[in-house]
Amino acid sequence: MSRVELGERLELPRARLTAEVSRLAEAGMVESGGPAASRGGRRSTLVRLASDLRLLAVDIGATSVGVAVTGPRCDVLAHVVEDCDVRTGPVAVLERVAALADVVLGSNPGRLLAAGVGLPGPVSFREGLPVAPPIMPGWDRFPVRDQLASRWRRPVAVDNDVNAMAMGERHAGVAQSLDELIFVKIGTGIGCGIVLGGRVYRGVAGTAGDIGHVRIDEYGPACACGEVGCLEAYFGGAALARDALTLARSGRSVRLAELLEERGSLTAQDVGAAAGAGDFAAVNLIREGGRRLGQVIASLVSFINPGMVVIGGGVAGLGHQLLAEVRSAVYRRSLPLATGNLPIVLSELGDQAAVIGAAWSASERAFALTH
């Protein structure tokens, strides 16, 4: 922004602002962006973050790992994703992360400022490590932040991947400039990122938004967390694969039976593909899951009164049938005042949401440490 706007935003007197901007320019953190558009009166110059600053963004999922390098405004310059089973443990997975980071930084050289990491489980944000993550055996309390910070010798922020996705959508996606929103991720697990007042709300220990283990039915299917009847046990990726297999074997879904014949196994994505091809049983599976998910989201809407609900993650590829069920459940069950102006939409950024959010969190961490 222009120096004038910056001064107004920071409520700093002109002399102080000039001194601070010069100090940042000397440190190589900011540069001039040329003359600002005139607002009448004296012409101002634009100040922007130095364009050779780099942020690393890491998105560790249950079955893949993605690493991106961004410019100073969290704009993705390069992004590589490869298959990687999180159950191989932190040492092996972080080795892959480091190797991929070398690749993206090598093709986009600059000054690395900080890194952000999203993990698919509960994270103690303060300590920078995962705590008893149900789908990440071997990761409990592994010092992810400290390991990567000592490898890269830069500040590192570690967060839950859903929080990262929520901030990604808010910064560069469908929820731009919204201060109150919830982001629901449906992947191998189900979780929810809560943004309040423009910041991620994490709760006391960092587990806020862990809706995958909200109980739908006390006589429901067993869940990976050891309980029964959790939302995730009905509608997570593994649950959908399980139900797809039942439909294929029982002959209730011809399309899923064909896919099983071809490949020997089924995934949640196959359910989406079968539904897309008009398979009645697959469509029903998505409808049922969407209805249960919608019940939980309706409660969240009543509780938080968000300005938008964004649905993302791998299973969000189930698309419009899912969205229709969720919308109908939420609009039916929540107060008209809460839903009167409530868009319920699919993620715009797809698999870039998490890396953009992780870069954002890296940037916050880097600049918080400089003063």
By the rule CB under 5 A, 225 interacts with Zn ion:
yes
By the rule CB under 5 A, 202 interacts with Zn ion:
no
Which of 181, 230, 244, 296: binder of Zn ion (CB under 5 A)? 230
Binding range to Zn ion, per CB under 5 A, among 34-42, 86-94, 120-128, 221-229: 221-229
By the rule CB under 5 A, 227 interacts with Zn ion:
yes
Binding range to Zn ion, per CB under 5 A, among 44-52, 156-164, 216-224, 309-317: 216-224
CA distances from 65 to 6, 43, 59 (A): 38, 47, 6
By the rule CB under 5 A, 5 interacts with Zn ion:
no
Separation between Cα atoms, residue 116 and residue 163, nearest integer Å: 12
The distance of closest approach from Cβ of residue 161 to Zn ion in the complex, given in angstroms and rounded to an integer, is 17
Number of other CB atoms surrounding residue 18 within 10 Å: 13
Q: Quote the tokens at residue 154.
A: 């830069």
By the rule CB under 5 A, 238 interacts with Zn ion:
no
Q: Which is nearer to Zn ion, 233 or 257 (CB)?
A: 233
The distance of closest approach from Cβ of residue 35 to Zn ion in the complex, given in angstroms and rounded to an integer, is 57
By the rule CB under 5 A, 258 interacts with Zn ion:
no
The distance of closest approach from Cβ of residue 210 to Zn ion in the complex, given in angstroms and rounded to an integer, is 9
Number of other CB atoms surrounding residue 39 within 10 Å: 11
By the rule CB under 5 A, 213 interacts with Zn ion:
yes
By the rule CB under 5 A, 292 interacts with Zn ion:
no
Q: Which is nearer to Zn ion, 100 or 223 (CB)?
A: 223
Q: Quote the tokens at residue 304.
A: 């938080």
The distance of closest approach from Cβ of residue 90 to Zn ion in the complex, given in angstroms and rounded to an integer, is 22
The distance of closest approach from Cβ of residue 137 to Zn ion in the complex, given in angstroms and rounded to an integer, is 15
Please work out the total of residues on this chain that contact Zn ion, with binding judged by CB under 5 A: 5
Q: Which is nearer to Zn ion, 72 or 313 (CB)?
A: 313
Separation between Cα atoms, residue 325 and residue 291, nearest integer Å: 5
Q: Quote the tokens at residue 88.
A: 């191989």
Q: Which is nearer to Zn ion, 76 or 239 (CB)?
A: 239
By the rule CB under 5 A, 223 interacts with Zn ion:
yes
The answer to whether 167 and 193 have CB atoms below 8 angstroms apart is yes
Separation between Cα atoms, residue 267 and residue 167, nearest integer Å: 28
Q: Which is nearer to Zn ion, 223 or 296 (CB)?
A: 223
Tally: H helices and E strands in the chain? 13, 14
Closest CA to 73 of 45, 50, 101, 102: 50
Side chain identity at 56, as an amino acid letter? L
The distance of closest approach from Cβ of residue 207 to Zn ion in the complex, given in angstroms and rounded to an integer, is 13
Distance from the Cα of residue 267 to its chain's centroid = 21
Binding range to Zn ion, per CB under 5 A, among 10-18, 152-160, 215-223, 249-257: 215-223
By the rule CB under 5 A, 196 interacts with Zn ion:
no
The distance of closest approach from Cβ of residue 359 to Zn ion in the complex, given in angstroms and rounded to an integer, is 31
Supply the DSSP string of 105-160, one letter for each residue: HHHS-SEEEEEEEEESS-EETTTTEE-S-TT-TT-TT--HHHHHHHHHTS-EEEEE
Give the torsion sign (CA, 139, 145, 150, 156).
positive
Q: Which is nearer to Zn ion, 192 or 223 (CB)?
A: 223
Interacting residues with Zn ion (CB under 5 A): 213, 223, 225, 227, 230
